[in-house]
Chain A
Amino acid sequence: MQELCKKVFRFYVEGFQNMKVGKKLWAILAIKFFIFFIVLKIFFFPDILQTKFSNDHERANYVMENITQ
C-alpha cells in the first residue's frame, strides 16, 4: 500500500516536472482560483440566504414573502 502511494506520488511529481506549456497553465489556474474563490466569492458573492438567516424555516418564510408580495 505504501509502495503504491509512493508510485502515485512520483507519477504526479514527474508529470508536473516534465510539463512544458502546462506550467504556464497552472500559473493561470492559480491566479484564476484566487480571484474566483477568494476575491469574488468572499467580497462580491455572498450566499444571501445562508448569511442572512440561520435556519431553513426562516429562509422559506423570507422567500415565500418575496414571491407572494
Chain B
Amino acid sequence: MDNSLLVDLSRSQFALTAMYHWLFVPLTLGLSFIIAFMETIYVKTGNPEWKKITKFWMTLFGINFAIGLATGIIMEFEFGTNWSNYSWIVGDIFGAPLAIEGIMAFFMESTFFAVMFFGWNKVSKKAHLLSTWLVAIGSNLSALWILVANGWMQYPTGMKFNVDTARFEMESFFDVLFNPVAVSKFLHTVSSGYVMGSLFVIGISSWYLLKKRDTVFAKRSIIVAASFGLLASIFLISTGDESAHQVALKQPTKLAAMEGLYDGSKRQGIVAIGQLTSGKEIGDNKDDFVWSVQIPYALSFLGFRNIDAFVPGMDDLVLGNKKMNIEPASDMLAKGKIALKSLRDYKNAQKVNDAEKSQASLKTFRMYEKYLGYGYLKNPVDIIPPVGLTFYSFHIMVGLGTWFLILFFFMLYYSMIGKIEDKRLFQKLALWSIPLGYLAGEVGWIVAEVGRQPWAIQGMLPTQVATSHLTSNSVAVTLVLFAVLFTGLLIAEIKIMLSQIKLGFKGA
C-alpha cells in the first residue's frame, strides 16, 4: 500500500469537506446576529419597514442554513472511516465537547429556529425577538464546542495518555475548555463570521443601490451591517493578535512558516508583504525573500509582547540554537523514538505478563512521553509545515482583514452623512468583497490547519499515523463523490439565493 498517497487523499478529502462546510458556517454566525439587531430595531421602533428588512435577510439566512445543514456531519463519517486511529485516540477528549455541542447548542438552535420562521404573528413580538436572539446565540455556541476540540489539537492539554487503552483521557474538562489556544481560536473564528455576515449584507445592499431599487431598505441594512462589521473587524484584529501570540508560544514552527522566517533573531521585524525565495532549504544561507517590506521589531513585540524577544526561525527549530536554548529537532526525534520503543516494549511485556519489564518500560515512556509524536518522523526537517502555502495564506488573510476594516469604515461614514447612494465605486467594491470574505475565511483555515502539519495532534500524533489502513482507491472514489455532491449543493445555494435576491425586500 502506498501510504503517502493514502494520507494525501485522506487529507484532501477532509480539507475539501471542511472548506465546503466553512462556506456556509461563517454566514450563519454573522447573519444571525445582524438579523437579531434588525429585529430589535423593529420591536423598539414598531416601524414595519424594519420588519420587512428583517424578514428579507432572514430568508437568505434560512437558505444558507438549510443548504449548509449537516455538511459538517460528513467530517464525523470521515473520522470513523479514514481517521479511525485518530478518532479512537482522541475519543475521550472530543466526546464531551461534541456531545455538549449536539445536545445544547444544536437543539437550542433548532427549537427556536421554527419560532423564528413560523412564529411571525403567532407569538408575541418579544417572544419572537427572543427566539431570533437564541438562534444567534445557539449558532455561536455550536462553534464554541467545535473550536474547543480543534484548539486541543493545536495545543493538547488537560489530558494523559493511557497506555492500556491507547487513548488520551481527559483529566480536566476546564483545562480543555479554557485552553488559551481554543479561547483565542473561538473568538477569532466567530468574529471572522461576523465580518463575513456584514460583508454579505453590505455587498447585496450595494447591488440594490447600483440597480437603484429598494434603496431605502438597502441603506438601512448597510447602516446596521457596517456598524456591526466595523466593530467586528476591530475585534477580529485584536483576537487575531492574541491568536498569533498563542501560536508564537505554543506552535513556533507554525509562526516561523507564517512569517517565512528561517534565521531567527531578537528584535525581529514582521513581513508586511514579500515574495519567498523558491527552493530555499533549511540552513542553506540563501535569503528568505526575493523582496519584502518589513515592519521593524513588530514580530518580537506581537509574538512575545517584548520588543527584545528572540523569535526562532525554521533553521533554529530544526538545527537547534544553543545560545537561545533551543533543542535540535534531531534530539527530539531520538527521544521520540525512545518513547515509541518503550511503549512497544510495555505492550510486549504486558502480553507475556512480565510485570517488572512492563513497569520499567512504562517509567521510560513517561520520561519521554512528550516527545512521542517526534518518534514517528523520519527527518528533522519533517517538523516544518508547507512554508509557501502557510505564508501566502496568512498574508492574504491579514491583507483582506485590513481591507474589510477600511471598507466598513467608509460604508458607515458615507451612510451617516447620507452620501452612500452617490458612491458607486464603494458600492462596487462592497459587492466584490463578498467573495473576498469567503476567501479570507478559507485561507484562515489553511493557516490554522496546514500550518499545524505534520501534526494531527501537535507534537503527539503525526497525520500519517492518524489515518486508517484503507486502500487509496476507496478514498479517491469518495473524494470525487464529495467534490460532485458539495459542488451541486453550492450551485443550488447560489441559484436559490440569487432568485430570492432578485425578488427584493418587497417580496419578503
User: Residues on A close to B: CB < 8 A?
Assistant: 11-12, 14-16, 18, 21-22, 24-26, 28-29, 32-33, 35-36, 40-41, 44-50, 56, 59-61, 63-64, 66-68
B80 touching A68, Cβ below 8 Å: no
Q: Is the interface of B mostly helix, strand, loop or mixed?
A: helix
B73 within 8 A of A: yes
A44 touching B84, Cβ below 8 Å: no
A67 touching B166, Cβ below 8 Å: yes
Assuming A11-B122, A25-B67, A44-B478, is B80 touching A50 (CB within 8 A)? yes
Considering the complex, which residues of chain B in the window 80-111 have a beta carbon less than 8 Å from any beta carbon of chain A? 80-81, 84-85, 87-89
B344 within 8 A of A: yes
Contacts of B88 in A (CB 8 A): 49, 59-60, 63
A15 touching B89, Cβ below 8 Å: no
In-complex Cβ contact of A45 among B81, B343, B465, B500 (8 A): B81
User: Residues on B close to A: CB < 8 A?
Assistant: 59, 62-63, 66-67, 69-70, 73-74, 77-78, 80-81, 84-85, 87-89, 114, 117-119, 122, 164-167, 340, 343-344, 347, 461, 465, 468-470, 474, 477-478, 481, 485, 489, 492, 496, 500
Name the residue of chain B whose CB is nearest to the CB of A25: B66
B77 touching A41, Cβ below 8 Å: yes
In-complex Cβ contact of B344 among A32, A33, A46, A68 (8 A): A68
Contacts of B114 in A (CB 8 A): 11-12, 15
Contacts of A50 in B (CB 8 A): 80
Task: Tell me how far the C-beta of B332 lies from the nearest C-beta in chain A, rounded to whole angstroms.
Answer: 18
Assuming A56-B165, A64-B347, is B477 touching A44 (CB within 8 A)? yes
Query: With A and B bound together, what is the CA distance between A18 and B62 in angstroms?
Result: 15
Query: With A and B bound together, what is the CA distance between A18 and B73 in angstroms?
Result: 29
Query: With A and B bound together, what is the CA distance between A21 and B495 in angstroms?
Result: 12
Query: With A and B bound together, what is the CA distance between A34 and B496 in angstroms?
Result: 21
Task: List 11 additional contacts besides A22-B117, A25-B62; criterion CB under 8 Å.
Answer: A21-B500, A25-B496, A32-B70, A35-B485, A45-B77, A45-B478, A63-B84, A63-B85, A63-B88, A66-B469, A67-B89
A25 touching B63, Cβ below 8 Å: yes
A49 touching B80, Cβ below 8 Å: yes
Task: Tell me how far the C-beta of A42 lies from the nearest C-beta in chain B, rounded to whole angstroms.
Answer: 10
A-B contact pairs, 12 of them (CB 8 A): A11-B119, A11-B122, A12-B118, A15-B118, A18-B118, A21-B59, A28-B66, A28-B67, A32-B69, A61-B166, A63-B85, A67-B85
Assuming A40-B77, A50-B80, is B118 touching A14 (CB within 8 A)? yes
Contacts of A64 in B (CB 8 A): 166, 343, 347
Name the residue of chain B whose CB is nearest to the CB of A40: B77
Contacts of B166 in A (CB 8 A): 60-61, 63-64, 67
In-complex Cβ contact of A68 among B81, B87, B347, B496 (8 A): B347
Task: Tell me how far the C-beta of B193 lies from the nearest C-beta in chain A, rounded to whole angstroms.
Answer: 21
Task: Tell me how far the C-beta of A23 lies from the nearest C-beta in chain B, rounded to whole angstroms.
Answer: 11
Contacts of A56 in B (CB 8 A): 165
In-complex Cβ contact of A22 among B62, B340, B461 (8 A): B62
A21 touching B89, Cβ below 8 Å: no
A21 touching B63, Cβ below 8 Å: yes
Contacts of A16 in B (CB 8 A): 118
A33 touching B70, Cβ below 8 Å: yes
Residue from the set B63, B118, B343, B344 with the largest chain A CB neighbour count within 10 Å: B118
Residue from the set A44, A47, A60, A64 with the largest chain B CB neighbour count within 10 Å: A64
Name the residue of chain B whose CB is nearest to the CB of A44: B478
Contacts of B63 in A (CB 8 A): 21, 25
In-complex Cβ contact of A15 among B117, B465, B481 (8 A): B117
Task: Tell me how far the C-beta of A19 lies from the nearest C-beta in chain B, rounded to whole angstroms.
Answer: 8
Assuming A45-B478, A66-B469, is B74 touching A36 (CB within 8 A)? yes
Query: With A and B bound together, what is the CA distance between A18 and B208 in angstroms?
Result: 27
In-complex Cβ contact of B481 among A14, A22, A44, A48 (8 A): A44
